[in-house]
Amino acid sequence: MPNYYYFLIAFVQALTEFLPVSSSGHLLLLKGIIHFTEVPILVDITVHLGSLVAIIFFFRHRLMRLVRGATQEIRANTRPAAEARLILYLIFSTGVTGFIFILLRKNFETSFHEPGILPVTFVFTSLLLLLVHITERKKRGAHRNLTWTAALLVGVFQGLAILPGVSRSGATIALLLIMGIQRDEAVFYSFALAIPAIIGGFLIELPEAGNSTFLADHWLVLSGSLLVSAVFSYFFLRLLTILIYKRKFWFFSLYTALAAVCSGIFFW
Protein backbone atom coordinates (compact mmCIF):
# COMPACT_ATOMS: atom_id res chain seq x y z
CA MET A 1 0.00 0.00 0.00
CA PRO A 2 1.54 3.37 -1.02
CA ASN A 3 2.51 5.65 1.86
CA TYR A 4 0.08 8.40 0.90
CA TYR A 5 -2.80 5.94 1.46
CA TYR A 6 -1.94 5.94 5.17
CA PHE A 7 -2.25 9.73 5.31
CA LEU A 8 -5.47 9.58 3.30
CA ILE A 9 -6.95 7.12 5.80
CA ALA A 10 -5.78 9.34 8.69
CA PHE A 11 -7.41 12.41 7.13
CA VAL A 12 -10.70 10.60 6.42
CA GLN A 13 -10.69 9.31 10.00
CA ALA A 14 -10.17 12.83 11.36
CA LEU A 15 -12.78 14.35 9.05
CA THR A 16 -15.48 11.82 9.81
CA GLU A 17 -14.81 10.70 13.40
CA PHE A 18 -16.22 13.88 14.92
CA LEU A 19 -18.46 15.28 12.23
CA PRO A 20 -21.71 13.28 12.38
CA VAL A 21 -21.18 11.39 9.13
CA SER A 22 -19.65 8.08 10.37
CA SER A 23 -15.90 7.48 10.15
CA SER A 24 -16.31 3.70 9.81
CA GLY A 25 -18.85 4.19 7.02
CA HIS A 26 -16.55 6.49 5.08
CA LEU A 27 -13.52 4.27 5.58
CA LEU A 28 -15.56 1.32 4.30
CA LEU A 29 -16.75 3.46 1.38
CA LEU A 30 -13.16 4.52 0.67
CA LYS A 31 -11.94 0.92 0.77
CA GLY A 32 -14.70 -0.12 -1.62
CA ILE A 33 -14.04 2.69 -4.10
CA ILE A 34 -10.23 2.45 -4.33
CA HIS A 35 -10.19 -1.30 -3.70
CA PHE A 36 -8.31 -1.61 -0.46
CA THR A 37 -8.28 -5.33 0.16
CA GLU A 38 -7.11 -5.19 3.75
CA VAL A 39 -5.92 -2.27 5.84
CA PRO A 40 -3.47 -3.41 8.56
CA ILE A 41 -5.02 -3.25 12.02
CA LEU A 42 -2.09 -1.16 13.23
CA VAL A 43 -3.14 1.59 10.83
CA ASP A 44 -6.68 1.59 12.22
CA ILE A 45 -5.33 1.67 15.79
CA THR A 46 -2.97 4.52 14.95
CA VAL A 47 -5.56 6.84 13.41
CA HIS A 48 -8.02 6.20 16.26
CA LEU A 49 -5.33 7.01 18.80
CA GLY A 50 -4.88 10.32 16.99
CA SER A 51 -8.57 11.04 17.51
CA LEU A 52 -8.25 10.09 21.18
CA VAL A 53 -5.37 12.56 21.64
CA ALA A 54 -7.50 15.30 20.05
CA ILE A 55 -10.46 14.62 22.37
CA ILE A 56 -8.35 14.66 25.53
CA PHE A 57 -6.55 17.85 24.51
CA PHE A 58 -9.73 19.64 23.41
CA PHE A 59 -11.65 18.82 26.60
CA ARG A 60 -8.64 18.81 28.93
CA HIS A 61 -9.98 21.55 31.22
CA ARG A 62 -13.47 20.03 31.50
CA LEU A 63 -12.02 16.55 32.05
CA MET A 64 -9.74 17.83 34.82
CA ARG A 65 -12.68 19.63 36.42
CA LEU A 66 -14.73 16.44 36.21
CA VAL A 67 -12.09 14.30 37.92
CA ARG A 68 -11.20 16.95 40.51
CA GLY A 69 -14.84 17.74 41.26
CA ALA A 70 -15.83 14.08 41.59
CA THR A 71 -12.89 13.43 43.93
CA GLN A 72 -13.85 16.36 46.16
CA GLU A 73 -17.52 15.35 46.20
CA ILE A 74 -16.69 11.78 47.20
CA ARG A 75 -14.34 12.92 49.96
CA ALA A 76 -16.80 15.48 51.31
CA ASN A 77 -19.83 13.25 50.72
CA THR A 78 -21.71 16.24 49.31
CA ARG A 79 -25.21 16.16 47.82
CA PRO A 80 -25.98 16.58 45.02
CA ALA A 81 -22.65 15.19 43.77
CA ALA A 82 -23.01 16.33 40.17
CA GLU A 83 -19.56 15.41 38.85
CA ALA A 84 -19.45 12.04 40.60
CA ARG A 85 -22.90 11.24 39.23
CA LEU A 86 -21.74 12.19 35.73
CA ILE A 87 -18.88 9.70 36.00
CA LEU A 88 -21.37 7.01 37.05
CA TYR A 89 -23.49 7.86 34.01
CA LEU A 90 -20.43 7.52 31.76
CA ILE A 91 -19.56 4.14 33.28
CA PHE A 92 -23.15 2.96 32.87
CA SER A 93 -23.36 4.09 29.22
CA THR A 94 -20.03 2.43 28.47
CA GLY A 95 -21.23 -0.80 30.10
CA VAL A 96 -24.39 -0.78 27.97
CA THR A 97 -22.31 -0.26 24.81
CA GLY A 98 -19.96 -3.05 25.81
CA PHE A 99 -22.88 -5.42 26.40
CA ILE A 100 -24.32 -4.66 22.96
CA PHE A 101 -20.91 -5.16 21.35
CA ILE A 102 -20.42 -8.55 23.03
CA LEU A 103 -23.95 -9.61 22.14
CA LEU A 104 -23.71 -8.62 18.47
CA ARG A 105 -19.95 -8.80 17.86
CA LYS A 106 -20.12 -11.29 14.98
CA ASN A 107 -22.75 -9.21 13.20
CA PHE A 108 -20.68 -6.04 13.66
CA GLU A 109 -17.50 -7.69 12.35
CA THR A 110 -19.34 -9.00 9.29
CA SER A 111 -20.77 -5.56 8.53
CA PHE A 112 -17.27 -4.09 8.16
CA HIS A 113 -16.81 -6.17 5.02
CA GLU A 114 -20.24 -5.47 3.50
CA PRO A 115 -20.49 -2.00 1.88
CA GLY A 116 -24.07 -2.85 0.89
CA ILE A 117 -25.17 -1.96 4.43
CA LEU A 118 -24.13 1.68 3.99
CA PRO A 119 -27.28 3.02 2.26
CA VAL A 120 -29.43 1.79 5.15
CA THR A 121 -27.17 3.02 7.95
CA PHE A 122 -26.52 6.41 6.31
CA VAL A 123 -30.29 6.91 5.99
CA PHE A 124 -30.68 6.09 9.70
CA THR A 125 -28.07 8.75 10.56
CA SER A 126 -29.82 11.28 8.29
CA LEU A 127 -33.20 10.76 9.92
CA LEU A 128 -31.72 11.06 13.40
CA LEU A 129 -29.96 14.34 12.57
CA LEU A 130 -33.07 15.72 10.91
CA LEU A 131 -35.07 14.89 14.03
CA VAL A 132 -32.76 17.20 16.00
CA HIS A 133 -33.88 20.14 13.87
CA ILE A 134 -37.56 19.26 14.27
CA THR A 135 -37.41 18.85 18.05
CA GLU A 136 -35.17 21.88 18.63
CA ARG A 137 -37.73 24.15 16.99
CA LYS A 138 -40.37 22.88 19.43
CA LYS A 139 -38.19 22.94 22.56
CA ARG A 140 -36.43 26.30 22.39
CA GLY A 141 -35.19 27.34 25.84
CA ALA A 142 -36.21 24.08 27.55
CA HIS A 143 -33.34 22.02 29.00
CA ARG A 144 -33.22 18.85 31.04
CA ASN A 145 -30.52 17.25 33.15
CA LEU A 146 -28.92 13.93 32.35
CA THR A 147 -30.73 10.93 33.81
CA TRP A 148 -30.16 7.18 34.04
CA THR A 149 -32.63 6.76 31.17
CA ALA A 150 -30.60 9.13 29.00
CA ALA A 151 -27.39 7.31 29.93
CA LEU A 152 -29.00 3.98 29.01
CA LEU A 153 -30.23 5.19 25.62
CA VAL A 154 -26.92 6.87 24.79
CA GLY A 155 -25.14 3.59 25.55
CA VAL A 156 -27.52 1.76 23.21
CA PHE A 157 -27.07 4.29 20.41
CA GLN A 158 -23.30 4.24 20.81
CA GLY A 159 -23.49 0.47 20.53
CA LEU A 160 -25.47 0.73 17.29
CA ALA A 161 -22.90 3.23 16.00
CA ILE A 162 -20.36 0.40 15.76
CA LEU A 163 -22.16 -0.34 12.49
CA PRO A 164 -20.46 1.46 9.57
CA GLY A 165 -22.64 4.32 8.40
CA VAL A 166 -24.08 5.10 11.84
CA SER A 167 -22.19 8.07 13.26
CA ARG A 168 -21.14 7.67 16.90
CA SER A 169 -20.98 11.39 17.56
CA GLY A 170 -24.08 12.00 15.46
CA ALA A 171 -26.15 9.31 17.18
CA THR A 172 -25.17 10.21 20.75
CA ILE A 173 -25.28 14.00 20.44
CA ALA A 174 -28.50 13.91 18.42
CA LEU A 175 -30.18 11.71 21.00
CA LEU A 176 -29.16 13.99 23.87
CA LEU A 177 -30.32 17.11 22.02
CA ILE A 178 -33.63 15.43 21.14
CA MET A 179 -34.08 14.63 24.84
CA GLY A 180 -33.54 18.31 25.67
CA ILE A 181 -30.05 18.13 27.20
CA GLN A 182 -28.12 21.41 27.04
CA ARG A 183 -25.73 21.66 24.09
CA ASP A 184 -22.44 21.94 25.94
CA GLU A 185 -23.37 19.03 28.22
CA ALA A 186 -24.46 16.90 25.25
CA VAL A 187 -21.21 17.55 23.39
CA PHE A 188 -19.01 16.89 26.40
CA TYR A 189 -20.88 13.73 27.41
CA SER A 190 -20.67 12.32 23.89
CA PHE A 191 -16.93 12.83 23.58
CA ALA A 192 -16.11 11.89 27.17
CA LEU A 193 -17.92 8.67 26.34
CA ALA A 194 -15.73 8.27 23.25
CA ILE A 195 -12.59 7.99 25.41
CA PRO A 196 -13.36 4.56 26.94
CA ALA A 197 -14.91 3.46 23.62
CA ILE A 198 -11.70 4.18 21.69
CA ILE A 199 -9.52 2.67 24.42
CA GLY A 200 -11.75 -0.42 24.47
CA GLY A 201 -11.48 -0.77 20.70
CA PHE A 202 -7.72 -0.37 20.99
CA LEU A 203 -7.48 -3.16 23.58
CA ILE A 204 -9.67 -5.46 21.47
CA GLU A 205 -7.70 -4.89 18.27
CA LEU A 206 -4.19 -4.82 19.76
CA PRO A 207 -3.81 -8.61 20.21
CA GLU A 208 -4.78 -9.06 16.55
CA ALA A 209 -2.22 -6.47 15.40
CA GLY A 210 0.81 -8.44 16.69
CA ASN A 211 3.05 -7.70 13.72
CA SER A 212 6.28 -6.22 14.99
CA THR A 213 7.83 -6.45 11.52
CA PHE A 214 5.14 -4.19 10.05
CA LEU A 215 5.63 -1.70 12.87
CA ALA A 216 9.43 -1.71 12.43
CA ASP A 217 9.11 -1.18 8.68
CA HIS A 218 6.42 1.48 8.82
CA TRP A 219 6.97 3.33 12.12
CA LEU A 220 7.69 6.62 10.36
CA VAL A 221 4.57 6.64 8.20
CA LEU A 222 2.49 5.43 11.17
CA SER A 223 3.84 8.31 13.26
CA GLY A 224 2.92 10.71 10.47
CA SER A 225 -0.57 9.19 10.27
CA LEU A 226 -0.99 9.65 14.03
CA LEU A 227 -0.03 13.31 13.73
CA VAL A 228 -2.34 13.91 10.76
CA SER A 229 -5.22 12.24 12.58
CA ALA A 230 -4.63 14.19 15.82
CA VAL A 231 -4.26 17.63 14.21
CA PHE A 232 -7.21 17.37 11.84
CA SER A 233 -9.37 15.63 14.48
CA TYR A 234 -8.86 18.63 16.75
CA PHE A 235 -9.78 21.02 13.94
CA PHE A 236 -12.96 19.17 13.00
CA LEU A 237 -13.96 18.75 16.64
CA ARG A 238 -13.79 22.52 17.07
CA LEU A 239 -15.79 22.98 13.86
CA LEU A 240 -18.45 20.59 15.11
CA THR A 241 -18.92 22.44 18.40
CA ILE A 242 -19.31 25.73 16.54
CA LEU A 243 -21.98 24.27 14.25
CA ILE A 244 -23.88 22.75 17.19
CA TYR A 245 -24.00 26.06 19.05
CA LYS A 246 -25.19 27.77 15.85
CA ARG A 247 -27.97 25.16 15.50
CA LYS A 248 -26.51 23.90 12.20
CA PHE A 249 -25.94 20.33 13.40
CA TRP A 250 -28.85 19.01 11.36
CA PHE A 251 -27.25 20.23 8.10
CA PHE A 252 -25.19 17.04 8.09
CA SER A 253 -28.39 15.08 7.47
CA LEU A 254 -28.29 16.38 3.89
CA TYR A 255 -24.75 15.07 3.45
CA THR A 256 -25.48 11.63 4.92
CA ALA A 257 -28.57 11.36 2.71
CA LEU A 258 -26.33 12.04 -0.29
CA ALA A 259 -23.84 9.46 1.03
CA ALA A 260 -26.69 6.93 1.22
CA VAL A 261 -27.58 7.57 -2.42
CA CYS A 262 -23.95 7.37 -3.60
CA SER A 263 -23.20 4.19 -1.66
CA GLY A 264 -26.43 2.67 -2.99
CA ILE A 265 -25.32 3.42 -6.56
CA PHE A 266 -21.84 1.97 -5.92
CA PHE A 267 -22.72 -1.14 -3.96
CA TRP A 268 -26.30 -2.10 -4.81
pLDDT digits (tens, 9 = 90+) for 176-203: 999 989 999 999 999 999 999 888 888 8
Burial letters for 202-223: b for 16+ Cβ neighbours within 10 Å, e otherwise? beeeeeebeeeeeeeebeebbe
Instruction: Specify the pLDDT at position 68.
Output: 92
- How far, CA to CA in Å, does 170 sit from each of 17, 20, 147, 240? 10, 4, 20, 10
- Entry pTM: 0.86
Checking if the pLDDT of 89 tops 60, the result is yes
Total of domains in the chain = 1
The CA-to-CA distance between both ends of the chain, in Å, stands at 27
The closest of 57, 55, 62, 48 to 9, measured between CA atoms, is 48
Residue 181: domain span: 3-267
* DSSP tag of 19: T
Percent of the chain whose predicted confidence (pLDDT) is above 90:
39
Mean pLDDT estimate for the chain: 84
Geometric angle at alpha carbon 139, from 82 and 132, rounded to 5°: 90
Q: CA gyration radius for the chain?
A: 19
